């Protein structure tokens, strides 16, 4: 049941779904339970997953559900959902991630009002194998964010041109957008005052196709954003990823990821807009050294 208007705030919540029907329905239920709840909930179903679409429509007929016939990945789904969103603040969730605190959306609006230079606010994420810590009134400016546990100023997102629609975007999706945001002068605020639970054991990260994607996506990102002077750094990043995978026993998919790099680079060359050396290095510095953000009085 959708909350009465008096119990809703002007925020659009978006959910990117695919095959995890039970998880998707649980996430939607948690969003609806929030007090206040988001005024609008939009769901994208990727890859023409008809059974998932039908289950959502049966359980929540009042929600807006859109379907992509081809696989566009979570980034492509978020592009479509943000384009439809009615409100200037858009909170994004994976199909297996949802707010821990019932007043999540009220806190979110307070943060965007208190930090007017923040283009993205990203929450503290907890997984099933981690101890849940209390929400803490702390924040810092960071380089990166979690696409399934963040909120965007819609205007800032649209100014960047959205995500590159990579079906398996591990290591590519948020990093690419964060780089472009950094180049445009935007900022990412990370706070433990917002908490999101990611209901996954992360076993799928060990699947061969995911392993391959984490390798080829590094090369795709470098081809789209790095100046030629930093291409040696991209080679080092690929080799470092391969070394990490080998160290952790994830051998299946490594060769596949390396072999398909040329084809993937060509596939996404239309999205190329290279950034300057200074911008990329500044992004790397902020990644290593986040900057504390003063907590506003009275919040």
| pLDDT, one tens digit for every residue, the chain (299 residues) | 556 666 889 999 999 998 899 999 999 999 999 999 999 999 999 998 899 999 999 999 999 999 999 999 999 999 999 999 999 999 999 999 999 999 999 999 999 999 999 999 999 999 887 889 999 999 999 999 999 999 999 999 999 999 999 988 888 999 999 999 999 999 999 999 999 999 876 666 678 999 999 999 999 999 999 999 999 999 999 999 999 999 999 999 999 999 999 999 999 999 999 999 999 999 999 999 999 998 988 78
Q: In 3-state terms, what secondary structure has residue 9?
A: strand
The whole model's pTM is what? 0.93
DSSP state of 204: G
What is the pLDDT, as a whole number, of residue 4?
Answer: 64
Helix or strand or coil: residue 42?
A: strand
CA angle 11, 15, 19 (to 5 degrees): 170
- Does the domain at 10-201 match CATH 1.10.260.40? Answer given as no
d(CA 206, CA 129): 16
- CA dihedral (235, 239, 245, 246) in degrees, to 10, reads 160
> What is the predicted pLDDT for the residue at 239?
97
Instruction: Residue 195: name the closest of 137, 118, 110, 114 by CA.
Output: 137
Domain layout of the chain by residue ranges: 10-201, 204-271
Backbone angles phi and psi of 183, in degrees to 5: -65, -30
Confidence at residue 129, expressed as pLDDT on a 0 to 100 scale: 79
Report CA-CA distances (Å) from 249 to 193, 219, 241, 243, 281. Answer: 36, 22, 12, 10, 31
pLDDT of residue 6: 60
245, 254 in Cβ contact below 8 A? yes
Q: What is the pLDDT of residue 17?
A: 92
Residues 6+ apart with CB under 8 A from 245: 211, 214, 215, 251, 253, 254
Alpha-carbon distances of 278 from 94, 186, 227, 233, 275, rounded to whole Å: 33, 15, 10, 14, 8
> For position 200, what pLDDT does the model report?
76
Length of the chain equals 299
Sign of the four-CA dihedral 104, 143, 167, 224: positive
- Measure CA 159 to chain center: 17
* Model pLDDT, residue 298: 79
């Amino acid at each position: 049941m959708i909350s009465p208007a008096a119990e809703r705030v002007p925020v659009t919540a978006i959910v990117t779904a695919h095959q995890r029907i039970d998880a998707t329905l649980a996430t939607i239920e948690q969003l609806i339970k929030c007090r206040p709840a988001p005024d609008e909930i939009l769901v994208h179903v990727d890859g023409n997953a008809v059974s998932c679409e039908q289950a959502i429509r049966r359980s929540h007929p009042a929600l807006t559900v859109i379907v992509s016939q081809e696989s566009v990945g979570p980034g492509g789904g978020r592009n479509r959902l943000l384009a439809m969103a009615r409100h200037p603040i858009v909170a994004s969730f994976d199909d297996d991630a949802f707010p821990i605190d019932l007043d999540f959306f009220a806190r979110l609006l307070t943060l965007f009002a208190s930090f007017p230079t923040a283009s993205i606010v990203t929450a503290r994420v907890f997984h099933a194998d981690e101890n849940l810590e209390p929400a803490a009134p702390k924040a810092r400016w960071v380089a990166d964010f979690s696409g399934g546990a963040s909120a965007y100023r819609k205007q800032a997102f649209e100014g960047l041109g959205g995500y590159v629609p990579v079906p398996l975007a591990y290591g590519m999706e948020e990093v690419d957008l964060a780089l472009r945001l950094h180049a445009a002068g935007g900022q990412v605020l990370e706070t433990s005052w917002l908490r999101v639970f990611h209901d996954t054991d992360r076993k799928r990260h060990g699947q061969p196709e995911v392993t391959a994607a984490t390798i080829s996506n590094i090369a795709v990102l470098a081809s789209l954003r790095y100046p030629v002077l930093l291409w040696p750094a991209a080679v080092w990043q690929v080799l470092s990823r391969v070394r990490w995978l080998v160290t952790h026993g994830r051998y299946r998919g490594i060769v596949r990821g390396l072999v398909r790099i040329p084809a993937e680079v060509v596939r996404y060359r239309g999205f190329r807009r290279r950034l300057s050396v200074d911008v990329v290095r500044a992004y790397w510095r902020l990644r290593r050294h986040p900057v504390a953000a003063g907590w506003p009085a009275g919040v």
